[in-house]
Amino acid sequence: MIQKMSHATIYVLDQDQAKDFYVGKLAFEVKVDQSLPSGFRWFTVAPKGQSDLEIILMKVGSGTDFVEMKGGCAEKNDAKDLDAMIALLKKGMFSAGAFRTADCRKTY
């Protein structure tokens, strides 16, 4: 039985810029920042005091070397799909959810 969610993904264009924002501006804590020899970077943060949920700040396209299953057949990720995700992120139309705060104007 699933007990609770442990990770959620927010796609970003640049993980270093995302780190500056989430850690520098929002004061989130870095949970994991690990790069593999392939260049893939696993980077997670969490709001202070909420250690049971990690937010994966995933660079769009960083999983393009992975394959996904479609209809029982493995297929490479399509460059058109990657371009579409990047375009949506740049327009601010590809969001992840909402954060709770006591005073959104003060936090902003």
Spatial distance between the Cα atoms of 53 and 96, rounded to a whole number of angstroms: 14
Spatial distance between the Cα atoms of 99 and 11, rounded to a whole number of angstroms: 16
Residue closest to 22 by CA, chosen among 53, 59, 49, 47: 47
Q: Tell me the pTM.
A: 0.76
The per-residue pLDDT for 63 is 65
Task: Give residue-wise pLDDT tens across range 52-107.
Answer: 999 999 999 886 554 444 554 445 557 888 888 889 888 888 777 778 888 888 87
Residue 35 reports pLDDT greater than 90: yes
Confidence category of residue 10, pLDDT binned at 50, 70, 90 = very high
Delimit the domains of the chain by residue range.
7-95
Amino acid present at 28: F
7-95, CATH topology level: 2,3-Dihydroxybiphenyl 1,2-Dioxygenase; domain 1 (3.10.180)
Buried b (16+ CB within 10 A) or exposed e, 52-63: eebbbbbbbbbe
What's the average model confidence in pLDDT over 28-50?
94
